[in-house]
Amino acid sequence: MTDHASASAVRQVPPEASREPARAHADGGTAGTGLLFLREEEIRLAQDLMFFAYRDFTHAADAVLATLDLGRAHHRALHFIGRNPGIAVTELLTILGITKQSLARVLTVLVERGYVTQTRGRTDRRQRLLSLTAEGESLERQVFERQREVLTAAFRDMGAPSVEGFRRILTRIMGDPARRYIDRAHARPPAARRVW
């Protein structure tokens, strides 16, 4: 192997060489087995890939949102409200990881334009529960269809093993609260997805 080839290769270390015992993780993988030692340039390449993939993935939705003078913050709210009908504002805040003021600005626009409806909680009247209106569902569907095209094309080109690897890597990048959300959300039927 040439020096150049060696520099770009990823060395795989057998499990017994790891200092720590293997540990099971939420994504079904095991830490300490087949451990990869990645050079800085490989990590920087991964950063580049994530940046451009995110840019182009979100661009597919931006075209629809721009015609309505809406942005990505509105899209994220529409997405998670649509995925969790009747979600409490406090739960949405936790998912999005933004301030109350930021979410208030987003929700004001969505409610005033008729995309989101708010109702009071049955047991706690101080709660505000959020759901999409018919117009909100239609808009969320339009944006979803654009992004589905991007993901479907990539998934079909790469095949099932790559799709599974893609999901596992993203799951490991997430923090524990996000992983718990994913685990719970996808363990229940769509109608029961108030899980945070």
Is residue 25 domain-resident? no
The pLDDT value given to residue 136: 98
Is residue 21 domain-resident? no
Specify the 3-state DSSP secondary structure of 68: coil
Is residue 10 domain-resident? no
| H-only helix segments in the chain | 3-8, 40-66, 72-83, 89-96, 100-112, 134-158, 160-173, 176-185
* The total number of structural domains that make up the chain: 1
Q: What confidence tens digit (pLDDT) does each residue in 161-177 have?
A: 999 999 999 999 999 98
Residue 36: pLDDT band (50, 70, 90) is low
| Maximum Cα interatomic distance, the chain, rounded to a whole number of Å | 69
- Residues 136, 143: contact at Cβ < 8 Å? no
Which strand (E) or helix (H) includes residue 128? strand 128-132
Domain span including residue 161: 56-192
Identity at 181, one-letter amino acid code:
Y
- In this structure, which long-range contacts are made by residues 116-121, counting pairs with CB atoms below 8 Å and at least 24 apart in sequence? 116/77, 116/78, 116/81, 119/86, 121/88
Q: How far is 22 from 29, CA to CA, in rounded Å?
A: 10
Q: What is the CATH number of the domain that holds 114?
A: 1.10.10.10
Is residue 147 domain-resident? yes
Matching residue, tokens 């209106």: 133
The pLDDT value given to residue 188: 63
Q: Which of residues 192 and 78 earns the better pLDDT score?
A: 78
Give just the sign of the alpha carbon dihedral 176, 79, 63, 144: positive
Residue 184: pLDDT band (50, 70, 90) is confident
